Amino acid sequence: MREITKKRTEIILKALQDKHDLEYCTAYGERRYNDPEVGILFANWNHISRPLQDYLEEAGYSLEWSDEWYIDYDNDKAWRTSPDSYGWVCAVKFCDGYVITPDDDMSEWIAECALTDSDQPMSALPDWITPDDIIAQGFELFAGHLESGLHPGKTDDPRAITKKAVDSGASQVVFRIAEASQFYIVFECYIRQQLGRD
């Protein structure tokens, strides 16, 4: 059995950081991942030997591919940026020069995803945001269980729905992904009414 010491591990980590741009954080933000005993290491593991990887895992680290994760250093959490299943939905949003995560205020998510017309670039709130979260921001359900995908009948169009909602008096429209799968998504549409309307 190999000897694992704090000093030896520190030397290895420093060498990997210098040579392979090794990154680190303490915890997973991502659902369904258990936090490791010590922390998470991110690198291109193709260039690091299997015995060294085994050593780091025995020392209490989880090893992840650096090109599949975003590290939120402000909150010391890791979030996936590449799917790990057909039902995976990205929990973070890459904006113009910054990233918002589940640790950010709901108003920031609404500001990034809310629409005022059907010609805007579209994005949807992720599935970890609940209908109650959206309603608490002053929205109401406009259309639920909408579907888009490869199967017949799954043809709901967010642009047409946005136009219909705005034409009916909505000042803002926001979509939420309710379910993702290999061949379709289920989503919902919420609206915020114009001020002064009932």
**pLDDT tens per residue, range 51-74:** 999 999 999 999 999 999 999 999
CA distance 116 to 170: 8
Q: What is the mean pLDDT of residues 167-195?
A: 93
In angstroms, what CA-CA distances link 38 with 1, 62, 63, 145, 184?
A: 20, 8, 11, 42, 38
- Using DSSP, state whether 183 is helix, strand or coil: coil
Q: Are 118 and 167 in contact (CB under 8 A)?
A: no
Ranking 74-78, 83-87, 117-121 by mean pLDDT, the lowest is 117-121
- Count CB atoms within 10 A of the CB of residue 190: 25
* pLDDT at residue 142, as a whole number: 97
- Count CB atoms within 10 A of the CB of residue 38: 14
Does 196 score more than 60 pLDDT?
A: no
Instruction: For the chain, give the percent of residues with pLDDT over 90.
Output: 86
Hey, what are 162's tokens?
A: 């946005």
* pLDDT at residue 183, as a whole number: 94
Helix (H) or strand (E) holding 178: strand 170-180
The mean pLDDT of the chain is 93
Residues 7-56 pLDDT 10s? 889 999 999 999 999 999 999 999 999 999 999 999 999 999 999 999 99
- pLDDT confidence band for 2 (50 / 70 / 90): low
- pLDDT confidence band for 198 (50 / 70 / 90): very low
Instruction: For the chain, give the percent of residues with pLDDT over 70.
Output: 96
Q: What is the mean pLDDT of residues 82-103?
A: 95
Q: Are 76 and 29 in contact (CB under 8 A)?
A: no
Contacts of 100 (CB under 8 A, 6+ apart): 92, 93, 108, 109, 112
- The amino acid sitting at 45 is W
Query: Any idea what DSSP says for residue 88?
Result: -
Q: Are 141 and 188 in contact (CB under 8 A)?
A: yes
Q: Which residues pair with 40 in a beta bridge?
A: 25, 62
Tokens 């991110």 locate to 42
- pLDDT confidence band for 195 (50 / 70 / 90): low
Query: Any idea what DSSP says for residue 90?
Result: -
Does 121 score more than 90 pLDDT?
A: no
CA distance 83 to 126: 14
Whats the size of the chain, residue-wise? 198
Q: Are 175 and 188 in contact (CB under 8 A)?
A: yes
CA distance 43 to 25: 12
Q: What is the mean pLDDT of residues 174-198?
A: 87
